[in-house]
Structure 1
């Protein structure tokens, strides 16, 4: 039975954490984004975000995006720097046409930092990226 279930592979959808200046509060903030680098729109995008370690777990954040247009990105959440000492899991589900896709992206503890910044697809900034 399991061999009959087709789970399509997610490609061209990424999670990035960006360190950017907040004009309102005059602070440097870390924000998580979802990037759709595909040539199709994603529908009913749901992200479930949790930080965890062996003895700690954060509260769960859920974010819904009705449509994420092709070749675009959207902010998921503001991330406090204290969370970077934990593993940060982003479970993302979405529809592409009539097919449902699902992928879990995990930023391992201490991998989100200024030294790990790299150019991001579609965004004119640098950040920490998981494909």
Structure 2
């Protein structure tokens, strides 16, 4: 039975952490979903959470849920702000969406210390510096 199911592979969708602004005192970071497809995403649901070890203790952040009725082709949506203190944790974003009647889902995980200057690119569509997982 399971072998007969068609796997719905997520392509041309990215989750990105972007540097919004920077001052001497602090940096402001936002997380975005980027739709690089030529198709509209519908009923988009995203859960986010952080987990891992910090200072020798296990740490978990709250699970946050976000929804967007649609995300147009070649556009992006702001998911949430993210605190720099969580960059030492695994930051997980679980995405589900529909295209027509087909459902797609994928888990995106920013590993500890992966959101660093050495990994920065110019994010497509958003046009800001940041780190992206496709």
Q: Normalising by structure 2, what TM-score?
A: 0.90
* Structure 1 residue 65, shift from structure 2 partner: 0.5
Equivalents in 1 of 2:28, 2:71: separation in Å?
23
Q: 1:101 aligns with which of 85, 104, 116?
A: 104
1:58 is aligned to: 61
Pair 1:69 & 2:76 matched: no
Task: List gaps (5 residues or longer) in structure 1.
Answer: none
Q: Normalising by structure 1, what TM-score?
A: 0.92
Where in structure 1 do 4 or more consecutive aligned residues deviate above 3 Å?
none
Task: List gaps (5 residues or longer) in structure 2.
Answer: none
Equivalents in 1 of 2:89, 2:127: separation in Å?
27
Equivalents in 2 of 1:56, 1:42: separation in Å?
33
* Structure 1 residue 58, shift from structure 2 partner: 0.8
SS at match of 1:123: coil
* Structure 1 residue 28, shift from structure 2 partner: 2.8
SS at match of 1:59: coil
* Structure 1 residue 124, shift from structure 2 partner: 1.6
1:37 is aligned to: 36
Pair 1:17 & 2:17 matched: yes
Equivalents in 2 of 1:75, 1:102: separation in Å?
18
Pair 1:84 & 2:83 matched: no
* Structure 1 residue 94, shift from structure 2 partner: 0.2
* Structure 1 residue 68, shift from structure 2 partner: 0.3
Equivalents in 1 of 2:4, 2:62: separation in Å?
35
* Structure 1 residue 97, shift from structure 2 partner: 1.1
